[in-house]
């Protein structure tokens, strides 16, 4: 088992508590707004790649997708299965996805790419399992945002997920998709103000106004591409 999978197995039991905090609720709501505003698909078969405890799997399920969750951490998947007992969750390796060619209409991967060492290989797998015209959307933390520079410094002294993470820029994510053959590639970003900012309603207005113009400064970035 990889060091990253072991880490997520250890923290799985309290992973979702962050979403119960004021900051966690704001970040989750805002990131989901961005992700689902970028996806044009409204139905079909979807893969939540790196699903963790099923946060986005639940959202895809609520929106009517026929969704499968996939992750390397068994402990995280145990929690996801309790949330959605009727949904199939698979433990496995993102470098070798156990699905036939052209199986999915949508592949969504949020905050997984930070923890893989060969992103090009995973993007090629995503391309392979998508149907022609299918959409891939990858969401990651922005390596150049002030929010995550602070988080990386903190991780030097306290073990957090950021200790194991590789961060990306919008341009790097776009290049990943384009190099694998995706077309109509676009990126955007949200979360511009620091976590201690006391006025989330103002932060949300800023997010929705500048998510395209100022994406390079955002803490969370997403890129979408379409398979030819």
Q: Are 77 and 89 in contact (CB under 8 A)?
A: yes
Q: Are 94 and 70 in contact (CB under 8 A)?
A: yes
pTM to 2 decimal places: 0.91
Q: Are 103 and 134 in contact (CB under 8 A)?
A: no
**3-state secondary structure (DSSP) of residue 125:** helix
> How far is 159 from 68, CA to CA, in rounded Å?
30
Which strands sit side by side in the sheet containing 104-110, from one edge to the other? 88-91, 66-71, 45-49, 104-110, 130-141, 220-226, 183-190
Compute how many other C-beta atoms are within 10 angstroms of the C-beta atom of residue 102: 13
Q: How confident is the prediction along the chain (228 residues), in pLDDT tens digits per residue?
A: 477 788 889 989 999 999 999 889 999 999 999 999 999 999 999 999 999 999 999 999 999 999 999 999 999 999 999 999 999 999 999 999 999 999 999 999 999 999 999 999 999 999 999 999 999 999 998 877 666 656 655 555 565 556 667 889 999 999 999 999 999 999 999 999 876 777 888 999 999 999 999 999 999 999 999 999
Report the alpha-carbon angle 147-119-186, nearest 5.
65
- Burial label, 77 (beta-carbon count in 10 A; 0-12, 13-18, 19+): buried
Compute how many other C-beta atoms are within 10 angstroms of the C-beta atom of residue 131: 15
Cβ neighbours for 166, distance < 8 A, ≥ 6 positions apart: 113, 114, 115, 116, 117, 143
**3-state secondary structure (DSSP) of residue 174:** helix
What domains can you pick out in the chain, each with its CATH number? 3-226 (3.40.50.150)
> How far is 224 from 138, CA to CA, in rounded Å?
7
């Amino acid at each position: 088992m990889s060091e990253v999978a072991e880490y997520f197995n250890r923290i799985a039991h309290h992973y979702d508590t962050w979403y119960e905090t004021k900051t966690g609720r704001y970040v989750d709501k805002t990131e989901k707004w961005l992700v689902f505003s970028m996806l044009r698909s409204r139905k079909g078969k979807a893969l939540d790649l790196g699903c963790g405890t099923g946060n986005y799997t639940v959202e895809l399920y609520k929106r009517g997708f026929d969704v499968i969750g996939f992750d390397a951490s068994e402990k995280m998947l145990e929690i996801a299965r309790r949330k959605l007992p009727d949904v199939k969750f698979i433990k496995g390796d993102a470098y070798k996805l156990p699905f036939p060619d052209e199986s999915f209409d949508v592949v969504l991967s949020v905050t997984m790419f930070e923890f893989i060492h060969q992103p090009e290989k995973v993007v090629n797998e995503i391309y392979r399992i998508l149907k022609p015209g299918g959409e891939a959307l990858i969401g990651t933390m922005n390596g150049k945002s002030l929010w995550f520079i602070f988080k990386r410094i903190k991780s030097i002294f306290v073990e957090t997920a950021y200790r194991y993470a590789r961060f990306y820029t919008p341009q790097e994510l776009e290049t990943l998709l384009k190099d694998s053959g995706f077309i109509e590639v676009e990126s955007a970003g949200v979360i511009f103000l620091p976590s201690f900012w006391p006025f989330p309603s103002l932060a949300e207005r800023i997010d929705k106004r500048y998510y395209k113009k100022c994406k390079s400064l955002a803490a969370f970035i997403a890129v979408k591409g379409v398979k030819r």
